[in-house]
Amino acid sequence: MKQVDLCVIGSGPGGYVAAIKAAQLGKKTLVVEKQTIGGVCLNVGCIPSKALITAAHFLDKMKSASEMGIRIPAVTVDGGQLQTWKQAIVNKLTGGISQLFKANGVESLMGEAKFISPNEVEVKTQAGVEKINAKNFIIATGSRPIEIPGFAFDKKYVLSSTEALEISQFNQRVVVIGGGYIGLEIGSFLAKLGTDVTVLEANKAILTGVTDPDCAQVVSRKLKKKNVKLLTEAKAIGFKKQGSDLAVQVQVNGTDQTVLCDKILVTVGRRPNSENLGLEKAGVKTDSKGFIPVNSQMRTNVNHIFAIGDVAGQPMLAHKASREGIVAAEVIAGKNSAMDVKTIPAVVFTDPEIASSGMTEEEAKLKGYETKSGTFPYVANGRALSMMDSDGFIKVIVDKKTDIVLGVHIVGYEASNLISEAALAIEMGATAEDIARTIHPHPTLGEMMMEAAEATTGHAIHIVVKPPRDREPRASART
């Protein structure tokens, strides 16, 4: 039986980060991985999807280059080469994790782990079963796509996000069930690469509950411009083969419709991978949805067993998992560490991108804040115009009494790279005045953050903003 200080089950962005941090802090660490080092994010999620999104963006730019006077002959897409390029990126990153394990003295074992007691797991490997005894465990087993009745994943007609990222023939018709961030990210790049895309969303609007509604509207308009069909208040009932077509039965506002397609992509959410781990043998409890409840130190109800990432609950974000992994590793190493953050930024890689940090106006009001906000449009920014990406805006939401920033929501080009300033501002308790008085370089997209902050008082320079009715001096939170 192998003896270690820490056994990490799962090597995704939570598990591998936790393992490396624990090893750096002097703990003998072993990682057990069931499938592929790097988990869902690196292999069939974050990284490959962003590679394909980037390729689709390049193609889209080529098509509009004539506006600049650049004439490009007819451009074709080699789907096989695109997939080869995507996989090369994945291989480089997963190989990098293996090198980091080696450099930091982290041992890895490929196999399926299952608790047989609070301090032991059995790992089923290709060579047989190996037992691991550990003083501490971190469960980082992630999540998987949810199936819905009538649309079981068969990898031929009905696809999960995993199979959708392997598509190399783009002259097809695809129905996307679910207008959340995964479905819209994949649907967007497929449409740009030549796929006929129809999105079915059960709610009245896409990205409901995911982001600021004003941001979602911008994406909705852009999708329609790219000929993506959006059916809201639409419920997928089932499908059947109809010659060479798939006929999807849909109820839209209570009316039955049929949508013909070649493939069906189901993206209605993800569920935690907490089954088949033998948690009952370890005494670890799960909630009604299969998530493992944890405290601020990432401890489960069993003191020496921790859980991080998707399996530990919402939000299901890679960067949240990584931070939780660091916290868990530090606690195991005896440090006084806890998951204590004001905001976890989130990004939706649609076209245009959406990035959010902190509260929406509705959330702030529900928490008792009296708010004011400032918005600055991309179309008023010189850099955005010169890049031919002028759709969108930045919205800054502040506490009217203190001027402290409560939330920032961006929809537009490079929103994913702009949101970090907002996250820092919220985490440090900055005011809109702090942002507005910070000199931002010109000409850049970042200037819009400064202008949006100024717009909260009606004083933005490069747009006309109606001044606040009270015209009271701005309160300072730093007196």
Residue 429: is its pLDDT beyond 80?
Answer: yes
Model pTM score: 0.94
Average of pLDDT values for 115-139?
A: 97
User: Which fold would CATH assign to domain 2-144+271-332?
Assistant: FAD/NAD(P)-binding domain (3.50.50)
Residue type, 164: A
Burial of 426 (0-12, 13-18, 19+ CB in 10 A): buried
Predicted pLDDT of residue 408: 98
d(C-alpha 200, C-alpha 181), whole Å: 13
Question: pLDDT over 70 for what percent of the chain?
Answer: 97
Predicted pLDDT of residue 160: 97
| Domain boundaries, given as residue ranges, for the chain | 2-144+271-332, 158-268, 352-455
Predicted pLDDT of residue 471: 38
What average pLDDT does the chain have?
A: 95
Residue 254: is its pLDDT beyond 90?
Answer: no
Tens digit of each residue's pLDDT (9 = 90 or more) over 22-75? 999 999 999 999 999 999 999 999 999 999 999 999 999 998 899 999 999 888
Tens digit of each residue's pLDDT (9 = 90 or more) over 277-313? 999 999 999 999 999 999 999 999 999 999 999 999 9
Is 304 among the catalytic positions? no
Same fold, 2-144+271-332 and 352-455: no
Predicted pLDDT of residue 467: 61
d(C-alpha 190, C-alpha 210), whole Å: 22
- CATH architecture of the domain with range 158-268: 3-Layer(bba) Sandwich (3.50)
d(C-alpha 422, C-alpha 59), whole Å: 30
Given CATH 3.40.50.720, say whether it is the number of domain 352-455: no
Angle at 78 between CA 53 and CA 263, to 5 degrees: 65
Average of pLDDT values for 452-462?
A: 92
Give the confidence band of 469 by pLDDT, cuts at 50, 70, 90: very low
Residue 252: is its pLDDT beyond 90?
Answer: yes
Residue 479: is its pLDDT beyond 80?
Answer: no
Predicted pLDDT of residue 137: 98
Predicted pLDDT of residue 459: 84
Q: Pick the catalytic residue from 304, 319, 442, 459.
A: 442
| Cα–Cα separations (whole angstroms), residue 289 to 145, 270, 311, 313, 314 | 14, 11, 10, 9, 11
CA atoms within 13 A on the CB side of 260: 4
Q: What is the side-by-side order of every strand in the sheet holding 234-242?
A: 234-242, 245-252, 255-261
